[in-house]
A and B are shown apart, each in its own frame.
Chain A
Amino acid sequence: IAGITQAPTSQILAAGRRMTLRCTQDMRHNAMYWYRQDLGLGLRLIHYSNTAGTTGKGEVPDGYSVSRANTDDFPLTLASAVPSQTSVYFCASSQAAGGGYTFGSGTRLTVV
């Protein structure tokens, strides 16, 4: 089934640890995104990539980094996790010409 796969589904992480959230799509979409979703704040853009080899910062990029080595993969790394990064993280993709995003099922991350 075409779509986006995120891993892990959930994770409890000690503060100060490094963590990479994985995201893979099989639709050959050019653009990919990472959002975090928090109660009362909605979905906020962390980083985006319009095409393989390029990335950009969104609304809340501090403490996060991304890479886009190929079309299919867009990992999100927390270099040194802090409790405020406790959230649900969604990866999404879209065709360059617009249209709706396809979202993954999310990663629920708890930093303790």
Chain B
Amino acid sequence: EDQVTQSPEALRLQEGESSSLNCSYTVSGLRGLFWYRQDPGKGPEFLFTLYSAGEEKEKERLKATLTKKESFLHITAPKPEDSATYLCAVPPDAGGSGYALNFGKGTSLLVTP
């Protein structure tokens, strides 16, 4: 069973058109929810960590929020340079793998001029 589900799989926006990406998770004791950005041909780049429901983090045009069952990545007035795949990840329920993360399959965002 997937512990992290991201939607939509792909999203196309016009420059300036705000939207949100969704990440739902099924782990029982959340030990952090992580957002990453991945550009083609590169490794993922860390964006945010959220630990408790109600928490919010912001970086430029991005704002991440967290509830008890899901997280949203809000993109306000996006620019073409925001085009990338956005990944969400959580530590698994079992603590055996230490700090390893389970990743969702990502949302591929394309922002057109």
The answer, yes or no, to whether A33 is at the interface (CB within 8 Å) is yes
Cross-chain contact B98 with A103 (CB below 8 angstroms): no
Give the distance in Å from the alpha carbon of A95 to the alpha carbon of B45 in the complex: 15
Cross-chain contact B99 with A50 (CB below 8 angstroms): yes
The answer, yes or no, to whether B78 is at the interface (CB within 8 Å) is no
Residue of A nearest to B43 (CB): A103
* Range class of the A interface residue count: 20 to 34
Number of residues of chain B lying within 8 A (CB) of chain A: 25
Cross-chain contact A33 with B100 (CB below 8 angstroms): yes
* Segment from B19-27, B58-66, B67-75, B101-109 that makes contact with A: B101-109
Give the distance in Å from the alpha carbon of A100 to the alpha carbon of B87 in the complex: 12
The answer, yes or no, to whether B49 is at the interface (CB within 8 Å) is yes
Cross-chain contact B101 with A98 (CB below 8 angstroms): no
Give the distance in Å from the alpha carbon of A56 to the alpha carbon of B94 in the complex: 13
Give the distance in Å from the alpha carbon of A6 to the alpha carbon of B110 in the complex: 28
The answer, yes or no, to whether A41 is at the interface (CB within 8 Å) is yes
The answer, yes or no, to whether A75 is at the interface (CB within 8 Å) is no
Contact with A along B78-113 (1 / 0, CB 8 A): 000000000101000000111111111110000000
The answer, yes or no, to whether A42 is at the interface (CB within 8 Å) is yes
Q: Which residues of B contact A56 (CB under 8 A)?
A: 96-98
Residue of A nearest to B103 (CB): A43
Residue of B nearest to A9 (CB): B41
Cross-chain contact A94 with B99 (CB below 8 angstroms): yes
Q: Can you offer 23 A-B residue contacts whose CB atoms are under 8 A?
A: A31-B99, A33-B100, A35-B103, A41-B105, A42-B87, A42-B106, A43-B89, A44-B103, A45-B97, A45-B100, A48-B98, A48-B100, A50-B99, A56-B98, A58-B97, A58-B100, A92-B43, A94-B99, A101-B34, A101-B36, A103-B43, A103-B44, A104-B43
Q: Which residues of A contact B44 (CB under 8 A)?
A: 43, 90, 101, 103
With A42-B105, A43-B103, A90-B43: A100-B96 Cβ-Cβ less than 8 Å? no
Partner of A101, one of B46, B96, B98: B46
